[in-house]
Amino acid sequence: MTHADPASRLPPRLAEWLLRRCLPTGIIEQSIRGDIREEYTALLRESCASYAKLWFWQQTLRLCVRFAFQRVGLRLHILGQSRAGHRRRGRESTERERQAIRNECEDISRDLERHMRRAEPFGSLAQDIRYALRTLRRRPLFTTVAVLTLGLGIGGATAMFSLIDGVLLERLPYLDPGKLVSVWQVFPGFREVEGISEYWDRGTISYPQYRVWREANTLFQDVAVHKVSGMTLTGRGEPQKLSVGMVSASLFPVLGVQPACGRWFLPGEEASIPGQGAQVAILSDEVWRATFAADPRVAGKILTLDDRSYTVVGVMPRGFRLRRLGPPIGGTVDTGERDLWVPIGQPGAGLGEGAINWEALGRLYPNVPIDHAVAETRRLLVGDADPAERDVRVVPRKEAETRGLGSPLVLLFGATGLLMLIACANIATLLLGEMNGRRQEVATRSALGASSRRIVRQLVTESVVLGLLGSVVGVLMAFAGTRILVALAPPIPRIDQWSRSGCWPSRAFWAWLRG
Amino acid sequence: MTPKTKIGEFEQLVLLAVLQLGENARGIDIRREIEQRAERRVTRGALYTTLERLEAKGFLDWEVEDSTPARGGLPRRRFTVTPPGLQALRTSRRALLNLSRGLEDLLADI
């Protein structure tokens, strides 16, 4: 499996790009990058990917700084050499050489002039901003009302958009999520059964059914199953109850996620008889940090779970989650967080035909229509398969995760958009009212020689400064508002993704606020 | 000593490491050799900029070797010390010996 091969893990692309830009071009650049790549590959073999990536970045930045200094030093050296040469030849220098030096000096002064000309508008802009800030400070009531009104509008809209982005727009954190599907059993009879009526078309499957679908189908690249279980960790301080994902070895290839450290389960570690599965475990990032102090050489360490010894073989990337979308266990919506994962075949796993508790996922081959996949899985249903009583449904994973959420969230977003419009209208009214009182000021500035263009630019600068202040307050309100919304909202899948959602500037802003 | 043959302390270490490694004088190995034998930490930036400087001075030469899978297809350079490089090393060694003559007792390892 390619996932377990560290040599296939490439260094950070941005760092590689930076190296290409900073190093001298040609073979020198390629060979230095090759050396760093070789050491990075060796590091991957003995420690985890995140540590190796961090190391790569560190080396990249150090090399860039070093070569930048060298380049500056070289230019100064060349300049010094050339001036010394001119001085040495001064006594017998020709008119042509003297003219070349004069041209060089004129070039430099033209450059300086050009820079000065470019800098001039920025100087007057800074003046405008300072004036705008003074004007706003002189009118504290107007400024406070305007900034708060804008802040409320921006904050409300941003908070709602953050949630929508996290829940509906954010790409699933799996490889090529368009091909990832949930495969459900449909039990029309359950529509009338209280408690599970909502889940009649999201039925889980049995382990034998998974084996048949995996081995006999032709339209899926692979099929995987998982379920949630609990185990008690002992021998490391106080005993702890851990949330454990029991998964097929095919789950990782299906999701296309690589462990941050170590390897994924091998096909031979999965067993169809309870108790015969290999005693190996993959840790979540949280447990790895809390129990093993983020030790990069954690692979091979032993954990005691339910009085059995398990060997740690890997660590999952930070934030990895796989939600269970079927009937909730204990009435709560699953967040997808697990403390560790073990392969199928542990004691009490429920692997018979009657144990319908495995949730199935599949990765389709490219360009396979959903209805073909439905027909194929229906054909391979184990046991009596009267479509009136039992059928199959194949749903794109993204759709399965956001089921029934689109319309209410978009409606709420529309409402906050209207709130934003009302805020803008209020600000416009306030500004117009203010302008009436500032006629004298504008007339004075005009009489003192300010052109109408300059006055308009000053007023626009004031509005922009007001808008920026409102935006700062708005983003702070959005930060608080999103947290309040998440806390008060009913259990919505992926709602906790809000802090990871958004475009990179908003992510950077959240990171700055948190850090 | 002419300015052309002037070399700094770290440059001397790099040239000596290249001579010690002989046929195996590649970037990674040179760094490792200095760290092990001279017992000092060498940053990659310092090493590569020094290698380029020594090449510019004409003290080092290199040839390109085949890549390995671990390098992702990127080439590898093998360095050799040129005759001027060897001369520069001889000059600085002679200067060091001249200056330390008579100080053997003071400079001897305890």
Residue of A nearest to B26 (CA): A35
Q: Do B75 and A10 touch (CB under 8 A)?
A: no
| Chain segment A217-260, per-residue pLDDT in tens | 888 899 999 988 889 998 888 888 999 999 999 998 899 888 88
> Which two three-digit tokens encode residue B28?
């990674």
Q: How confident is the model at residue A111 (pLDDT cuts 50, 70, 90)?
A: low
| Residue A337 dihedral angles phi and psi, to the nearest 5° | -80, 130
Count the Cβ atoms, other than its own, within 10 Å of residue A461.
20
In this complex, is the C-beta atom of A28 within 8 Å of any C-beta atom belonging to chain B?
yes
Window 194-213 of A: residues touching B by CB (8 A cutoff) are none
Query: Which CA distances in Å does A83 have to A73, A90, A98, A100?
Result: 15, 10, 12, 12
Decide if the complex's ipTM is over 0.85. yes
Q: Do B68 and A31 touch (CB under 8 A)?
A: no
In this complex, is the C-beta atom of B4 within 8 Å of any C-beta atom belonging to chain A?
no
Q: Residue A304 and residue A233: Cα distance in Å, rounded? A: 6
Tell the residue number behind the tokens 């003219």, with chain if given. A99
Residues of B in contact with A70 (CB under 8 A): 49, 52-53
Q: How confident is the model at residue A198 (pLDDT cuts 50, 70, 90)?
A: confident
Q: How much is the average pLDDT of A486-511?
A: 57
Is the pLDDT reported for residue A1 higher than 50? no
Residue A308 belongs to what H/E stretch?
strand A308-315
| Chain segment A364-397, per-residue pLDDT in tens | 998 888 888 888 888 888 777 676 778 888 988 8
Write the Ramachandran bin of A326: left for phi over 0, alpha for psi from -120 to 50, otherwise beta.
Answer: beta
Residue of A nearest to B52 (CA): A28
Q: How much is the average pLDDT of A164-193?
A: 80
Residue of A nearest to B44 (CA): A63
In this complex, is the C-beta atom of B65 within 8 Å of any C-beta atom belonging to chain A?
no
Q: Residue A265 and residue A244: Cα distance in Å, rounded? A: 15
If DSSP codes are grouped into helix, strand and coil, which group holds residue A20?
A: helix
Q: What size, in residues, is chain A?
A: 515
Q: Residue A145 and residue A243: Cα distance in Å, rounded? A: 50
Its pTM stands at 0.50
Q: Residue B90 and residue B101: Cα distance in Å, rounded? A: 16
| Chain segment A40-51, per-residue pLDDT in tens | 988 888 877 888
Count the Cβ atoms, other than its own, within 10 Å of residue B99.
9
| Residue A157 dihedral angles phi and psi, to the nearest 5° | -65, -40
Which stretch, A81-95, A99-113, A191-205, has highest mean pLDDT? A191-205
Q: Residue B67 and residue B56: Cα distance in Å, rounded? A: 24
Q: Are A425 and A146 in contact (CB under 8 A)?
A: no
Tell the residue number behind the tokens 């097929």, with chain if given. A248
Q: Residue A326 and residue A228: Cα distance in Å, rounded? A: 11
Query: Most A CBs within 10 Å: which of B71, B78, B79, as the mutation test of the A interface?
Result: B71
Q: Do A7 and B69 touch (CB under 8 A)?
A: yes
Q: Residue A18 and residue A31: Cα distance in Å, rounded? A: 15
Write the Ramachandran bin of A81: left for phi over 0, alpha for psi from -120 to 50, otherwise beta.
Answer: alpha
In this complex, is the C-beta atom of B100 within 8 Å of any C-beta atom belonging to chain A?
no
Strand partners, B76: B65
Closest CA to A60 of A9, A10, A13, A28: A13
Write the Ramachandran bin of A182: left for phi over 0, alpha for psi from -120 to 50, otherwise beta.
Answer: beta
| Beta-carbon contacts of residue A16 (< 8 Å; ≥ 6 apart) | A10, A33, A60
| Chain segment A143-169, per-residue pLDDT in tens | 999 999 989 888 888 888 877 777 777
Q: How much is the average pLDDT of A108-117?
A: 54
Tell the residue number behind the tokens 């941003």, with chain if given. A158
| Chain segment B64-103, per-residue pLDDT in tens | 988 888 888 899 999 999 999 999 999 999 999 999 988 8
In this complex, is the C-beta atom of A30 within 8 Å of any C-beta atom belonging to chain B?
yes
| Beta-carbon contacts of residue A366 (< 8 Å; ≥ 6 apart) | A179
| Chain segment A332-357, per-residue pLDDT in tens | 667 778 899 999 988 877 788 778 88
Residue A22 belongs to what H/E stretch?
helix A13-22
Query: Most A CBs within 10 Å: which of B48, B57, B64, B79, as the mutation test of the A interface?
Result: B48
Q: How confident is the model at residue A504 (pLDDT cuts 50, 70, 90)?
A: very low
Closest CA to A321 of A120, A166, A128: A166
Of A10, A37, A59, the CB nearest to B71: A37
Q: Residue A127 and residue A272: Cα distance in Å, rounded? A: 76
Q: Are A11 and A40 in contact (CB under 8 A)?
A: yes
In this complex, is the C-beta atom of B52 within 8 Å of any C-beta atom belonging to chain A?
yes
Q: How confident is the model at residue A447 (pLDDT cuts 50, 70, 90)?
A: confident
Q: Do A65 and B46 touch (CB under 8 A)?
A: no
pLDDT for A82 equals 59
Strand partners, A304: A234, A309
Q: Residue A120 and residue A115: Cα distance in Å, rounded? A: 9
In this complex, is the C-beta atom of B43 within 8 Å of any C-beta atom belonging to chain A?
yes
Residue A124 belongs to what H/E stretch?
helix A95-138
Residue of A nearest to B27 (CA): A35
pLDDT for A512 equals 44
Q: Residue A335 and residue A317: Cα distance in Å, rounded? A: 16
In this complex, is the C-beta atom of A33 within 8 Å of any C-beta atom belonging to chain B?
yes
pLDDT for A114 equals 57
Q: Do B69 and A67 touch (CB under 8 A)?
A: no
If DSSP codes are grouped into helix, strand and coil, which group holds residue A221?
A: strand
Q: Is the dihedral of CA A205, A210, A216, A220 positive or negative?
A: positive
pLDDT for A3 equals 42
Q: Is the dihedral of CA A128, A131, A133, A139 positive or negative?
A: negative
Residues of A in contact with B27 (CB under 8 A): 31-32, 35
Q: Specify the amino acid at residue A153.
A: G
DSSP line for A231-269 = EEEESSSS-EEEEEEEE-TTHHHHHT---SEE-PPPGGG
Q: Residue A452 and residue A241: Cα distance in Å, rounded? A: 73
Q: Residue A144 and residue A146: Cα distance in Å, rounded? A: 6
CA A443 to chain centre: 53
Longest dimension (CA), chain A: 107
Closest CA to A275 of A183, A200, A349, A369: A349
Q: Do A66 and B48 touch (CB under 8 A)?
A: yes
pLDDT for B81 equals 95
Is the pLDDT reported for residue A424 higher than 60? yes
pLDDT for A72 equals 62
Q: Are A172 and A321 in contact (CB under 8 A)?
A: no
Count the Cβ atoms, other than its own, within 10 Å of residue A442.
15
Residue of A nearest to B29 (CA): A35
Q: Do A62 and B52 touch (CB under 8 A)?
A: no
